Amino acid sequence: MTSSEPGPGGPHDPAKAQETAQWWATPPTGTDSGQPVQGADPTMLNYASGGMPPYTPPAQAIPPAQSGGGYPQQPMTGGYGQPVSGGFPQQQYPPQQQFAPHQQYTPTPPVAPAYGYAAPPPRSGGNKTGWIIGGVVGLVVIIGVIIGAVALSGGNSPLGDDKKKNAGKYTMDGVTNGCSVIDTSVLSKFAANSKGAPEHSETKPTDYSGGRFECRAGNEETTKPDKYGSTDTNTADLTLDVSFLSGSSSAYNRPEYDIWKTSDTGTTGSGRTSGDLAGIGEAGYWVSKSDDYTYFTTTDYTCAVKDDNASVKIEIRLTMYKGKTVSKDDLAQTCKDQTRKALDNIKKK
């Protein structure tokens, strides 16, 4: 399908179609040379052969370069400082700030406050630690001055004065065995034999407690055999309770005597009697209670007194089987005598 080619520089016959021309470079038959070819891809046509101007593709938007220290770049031009053609609007950027050669610009990004909160105010100056330390040192100095003044005055602080004023004329100093302030052998009048060594307990006084002590003693004896040969045991038990007021006065620093009296004399019942105990201390009371059973009788006798800062209470309980009786007057006198003895033995010498 090709004709012989003339040699280089040979003439071409315009009347002959050049068989080397391709179909897409040759306008279709009947096409006006001044009109664009219909139905053909313009990118595949040779416009130069038909006298058409050269095809210029549309201008593309060129994004700003990311380099250059974070500053926007100037828009690209289409040659010789002209904007790129194609009908697209050109993005405008503010001109770059100029700096003197000897200055170095360091951008400072703004710090936005946290969402929903205002920016914190600037911190004020000043050092509060120094003031705090100074205040502590001053307080220590003041306390030292007060302690020194008290020492020079003989140690009579307000608390010491209060303790001295309310100390009272009774004390448990030197009491190591509470049973030593009474005579527990008096129980032998009611029961011949001791059950064992009396028990005692002591609570030493403190700044908030006046102290207290107790004693518990008991005697027993076996009854004579009855006609069946069986025996029983008579018993006599004694309890001593002594308490002291504390050195400070308060609504809770009540004499133990008041509590005892409310409980002992406030109870009523058959065989129970009570009255005032005169002649010992500031105030006193006694309570007697007897219960008769088929084979034995129980008798409880209580004496309690208060004087100044001391409260003393003695309880004697007898259990006697049939065949032995005890005088209530003798029991009352024994209780009263031991109460007076305890109060005398705790008085300050």
DSSP string of 132-168, one letter each residue: HHHHHHHHHHHHHHHHHHHHHTTS--HHHHHHHHH--
Torsion angle of C-alpha atoms 295, 298, 238, 286, degrees rounded to 10: -160
Q: 86 pLDDT exceeds 50?
A: no
| Residue % of the chain over a pLDDT of 70 | 52
Which own/partner pairs from 78-87 qualify as long-range (CB within 8 Å, at least 24 positions apart)?
84/59, 85/56, 85/59, 86/57, 86/58, 86/59, 86/60, 87/58, 87/59
pLDDT (0 to 100) of residue 72 = 47
Reply yes or no on whether the pLDDT at 314 is more than 70. yes
Helix runs in the chain, H state only: 47-50, 128-152, 158-166, 256-265, 328-345
Closest CA to 255 of 288, 215, 283, 214: 283
* pTM of the complete model: 0.54
Of the ranges 59-73, 81-95, 138-152, 319-333, the best mean pLDDT one? 319-333
- Indicate the length of the chain as a whole number: 349
Tell me which of 130-139, 147-156, 190-199, 238-247 is least confident. 147-156
Confidence of residue 85 (pLDDT cuts 50, 70, 90): very low
Lowest mean pLDDT among 32-46, 73-87, 164-178, 246-260: 73-87
The residue among 114 and 219 whose pLDDT is bigger is 219
- To the nearest whole number, what is the mean pLDDT of the chain? 73
**Is residue 245 very low, low, confident or very high in pLDDT (cuts 50, 70, 90)?**
very high
DSSP 277-305: --SSSSEEEEEEEEEE-SSEEEEEEEEEE
The label of the residue with tokens 């370069």 reads: 65
Does residue 187 contact residue 236 with C-beta atoms inside 8 Å? yes
- What mean pLDDT is predicted for residues 23-47? 50
pLDDT of residue 82: 45
Q: What is the pLDDT of residue 33?
A: 52
**DSSP 3-state of 275:** strand
What digits encode the pLDDT tens for the residues 206-226? 877 789 999 999 999 999 888
